[in-house]
């Protein structure tokens, strides 16, 4: 931005106190578990470096998807262990992992071969992933014993943490949870000696239905909870604080006669004389284009419905029932007044997608 000038009022306010509070809550829930703060995808859209700062005191390691995300944290001066949840994509990454103390997940044969054949200055801490039923990444349970032996006998490897990932941890009654946990416990019983394990994401950590066993030997990997969202269906709300407040100003207001349509495709039609406010946020900012009519937007103390197709830079909302409204008033797309979970439900997506897709052109303001 030339001369550092910066005017756009549309913004995402990031509450670093809320991040800190949520990390403390995660720490409490984790008990004697070690805690990995998952800050992949730019800290779920909140800014990885800023999130890493905010949660620093509560977590024992950071988790990211791939090495570039980890190096950004090293460049910013963080010295904590960082786990690469997708592992390495090429053998060229291994010396970089060793040098920067990055801990790759090993989930398939090519990654294993690369480590076994590498010549490294320092041994790696690796995470061995078992596929206990999600069928996305990981070695088959019956392979784990042999693979972990190979890793343990390899001079390039300093430690091995066996891990797995649940497919349905957010649904406490889902039968696959028990099956995955049983398979994982079998795998862990067969790998010797007893070592640290990691199965739980946020949902599994919060699930009372999943008995993860002795916590002292475990790592919990928690992401979404840090940002203020409980991903489970439990009734009792956790005292988490939303960390992101997405805001856009009203940039125009107009009266629309009954029978007139609003926006691309004319797919919202006024059934009465209506007032329409246009807000300066659109799908290029990460507000989903497929958000249907009626999706709630918080404006001047009430929820108003989206009216018309989401444009690239703008949306339109029906403010007929709003008493006070002026150009320049600010709408909250989600945040403390309108839970991102409620918006996600209306849009038929999940909170993770809404948060991570807030695009680069939306400035983050930290407080």
Ligand X SMILES: *Cc1c(COP(=O)(O)O)cnc(C)c1O
- As annotated, the binding site includes 136, 312
CB of 222 or CB of 295, closer to ligand X? 222
Which residues are within 8 A (CB) of 52 and not within 5 positions of it... i.e. 6 or more apart?
37, 39, 43, 62, 73, 76, 78
CA atoms within 13 A on the CB side of 124: 32
Element (H, E) at 313: none
Q: Which stretch binds ligand X (CB under 6 A): 9-17, 201-209, 293-301, 333-341?
A: 201-209
CB of residue 223 to ligand X, shortest distance in Å: 2
Q: Which stretch binds ligand X (CB under 6 A): 221-229, 243-251, 289-297, 359-367?
A: 221-229
CB of residue 98 to ligand X, shortest distance in Å: 22
CB of 287 or CB of 352, closer to ligand X? 352
Residue nearest to ligand X (CB): 223
CA distance 16 to 115: 38
Q: Residue 232: which of 199, 200, 204, 198 has the closest Cα?
A: 204
Helix (H, G, I), strand (E, B) or coil at 219: strand
Neighbours of 346 (CB within 10 A): 15
221 binds ligand X per the rule CB under 6 A: yes
224 binds ligand X per the rule CB under 6 A: yes
202 binds ligand X per the rule CB under 6 A: yes
19 binds ligand X per the rule CB under 6 A: no
CB of residue 200 to ligand X, shortest distance in Å: 8
Q: Which residues pair with 364 in a beta bridge?
A: 12
Element (H, E) at 99: helix 93-100
Q: Residue 330: which of 6, 8, 5 has the closest Cα?
A: 8
Q: Which stretch binds ligand X (CB under 6 A): 185-193, 217-225, 272-280, 284-292?
A: 217-225
Q: Which stretch binds ligand X (CB under 6 A): 118-126, 198-206, 330-338, 353-361?
A: 198-206
What the block records as the tokens of 54 is 């905010």
Q: How many residues can be counted in the chain? A: 367
CA distance 45 to 108: 29
Q: Is the omega angle on the peptide bond into residue 193 within 30 degrees of 0, that is, cis? A: yes
Return the residue matching tokens 């444009």: 311
**Which residues belong to the annotated binding site for substrate?**
136, 312
Q: Residue 283: which of 239, 225, 349 has the closest Cα?
A: 349
CA distance 97 to 71: 9
Alpha helices per DSSP H over the chain: 16-30, 40-44, 48-55, 67-75, 93-100, 109-117, 141-152, 175-190, 202-206, 340-347, 351-356
CB of residue 320 to ligand X, shortest distance in Å: 39
Return the residue matching tokens 């999943």: 210
The residue from 34, 40, 129, 287 that is catalytic is 40
In the annotation, is 40 catalytic? Answer: yes
Please list every residue from 226 through 285 that binds ligand X, using CB under 6 A.
231
Please list every residue from 68 through 107 that binds ligand X, using CB under 6 A.
85
CA distance 362 to 367: 16
CB of 72 or CB of 275, closer to ligand X? 72
The residue from 122, 129, 264, 366 that is catalytic is 264
CB of residue 181 to ligand X, shortest distance in Å: 15
CB of 10 or CB of 207, closer to ligand X? 207
210 binds ligand X per the rule CB under 6 A: no
CB of 144 or CB of 304, closer to ligand X? 144
> In the stretch 34-73, what mask flags binding to ligand X with x, by CB under 6 A?
----x-x---------------------------------
Question: What residues act catalytically?
Answer: 40, 264
Residue ranges binding ligand X (CB under 6 A): 38, 40, 85, 165, 201-203, 221-224, 231
């Amino acid at each position: 931005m030339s001369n550092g000038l910066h005017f756009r009022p549309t913004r995402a306010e990031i509450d670093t106190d809320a991040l800190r509070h949520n990390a403390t809550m995660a720490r409490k829930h984790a008990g004697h578990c070690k805690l990995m703060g998952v800050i992949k995808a730019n800290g779920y859209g909140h800014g990885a470096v800023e999130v890493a700062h905010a949660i620093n005191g509560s977590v024992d390691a950071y988790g990211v998807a791939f090495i570039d995300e980890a190096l950004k944290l090293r460049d910013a001066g963080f010295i904590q262990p960082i786990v690469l949840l997708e592992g390495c994509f090429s053998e060229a990454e291994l010396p970089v992992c060793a040098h920067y103390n990055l801990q790759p997940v090993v989930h398939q044969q090519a990654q294993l071969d690369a480590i076994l054949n590498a010549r490294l200055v320092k041994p790696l801490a690796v995470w061995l992933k078992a596929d206990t039923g999600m069928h996305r990444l990981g070695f088959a349970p019956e392979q784990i014993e042999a693979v972990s032996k190979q890793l343990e006998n390899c001079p390039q490897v300093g430690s091995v943490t066996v891990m797995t990932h649940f497919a349905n941890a957010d649904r406490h009654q889902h039968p696959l949870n028990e099956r995955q946990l049983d398979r994982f416990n079998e795998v862990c019983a067969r790998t010797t000696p007893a070592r640290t394990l990691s199965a739980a994401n946020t949902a599994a950590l919060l699930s009372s239905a999943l008995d993860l066993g002795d916590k002292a030997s475990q790592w919990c990997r928690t992401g979404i909870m840090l940002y203020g969202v409980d991903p489970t269906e439990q009734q009792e709300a956790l005292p988490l604080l939303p960390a992101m407040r997405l805001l856009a100003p009203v940039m125009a207001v107009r009266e629309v006669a009954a029978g007139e349509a609003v926006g691309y495709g004319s797919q919202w039609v006024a059934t009465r004389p209506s007032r329409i406010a246009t807000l300066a946020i659109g799908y290029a900012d990460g507000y989903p284009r497929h958000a249907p009519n009626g999706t709630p937007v918080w404006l001047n103390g009430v929820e108003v419905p989206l009216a018309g197709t989401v444009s690239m830079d703008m949306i339109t909302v029906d403010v007929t029932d709003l008493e006070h409204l002026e150009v320049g008033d600010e709408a909250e797309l989600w945040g403390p007044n309108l839970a991102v979970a409620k918006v996600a439900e209306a849009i038929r997506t999940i909170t993770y997608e809404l948060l991570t897709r807030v695009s680069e052109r939306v400035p983050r303001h930290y407080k």
